[in-house]
Amino acid sequence: TQLLEQSPQFLSIQEGENLTVYCNSSSVFSSLQWYRQEPGEGPVLLVTVVTGGEVKKLKRLTFQFGDARKDSSLHITAAQPGDTGLYLCKGAQKLVFGQGTRLTINP
């Protein structure tokens, strides 16, 4: 079983601050995905990263895939309350998610 470990599990910061959350595994992935889930809804796909070392930007969100394709990070710049949610990573060929990082942005 390829386990995905996400850290931190919980993060609460003030609006305007920057943050980084991590997704790590001992296994190599051909690609990796990030999802965000808001209360009462299903997860929504944010991005798929495919190439080792790849960086993708989605407005204030920056996603990076590790060179060895075993880890990924999500960096949010100038966090806003609308960024609040559960952030989940998944190895793209797999159907198993990490436990998630629950992010709260306080106004």
* Interface residues toward another protein, by CB under 8 A: 30-31, 33, 40-45, 48, 50, 88, 90, 92-100
Neighbours of 51 (CB within 10 A): 12
Query: In the complex, what is the shortest distance from the CB of residue 80 to another protein, in angstroms, rounded to a whole number?
Result: 23
Question: Is 82 within 8 Å of 75 (Cβ atoms)?
Answer: no
CB atoms within 10 A of CB 99: 14
CB of 89 to another protein, least distance (A): 11
What's the closest the beta carbon of residue 8 comes to another protein, in angstroms?
A: 14
Question: Is the Cβ of residue 40 or residue 107 nearer to another protein in the bound state?
Answer: 40
Q: For residues 12 and 30, which CB has a smaller minimum distance to another protein in the complex?
A: 30
| Residue 96: strand, helix, or coil | coil
Token pair for residue 90? 């998944």
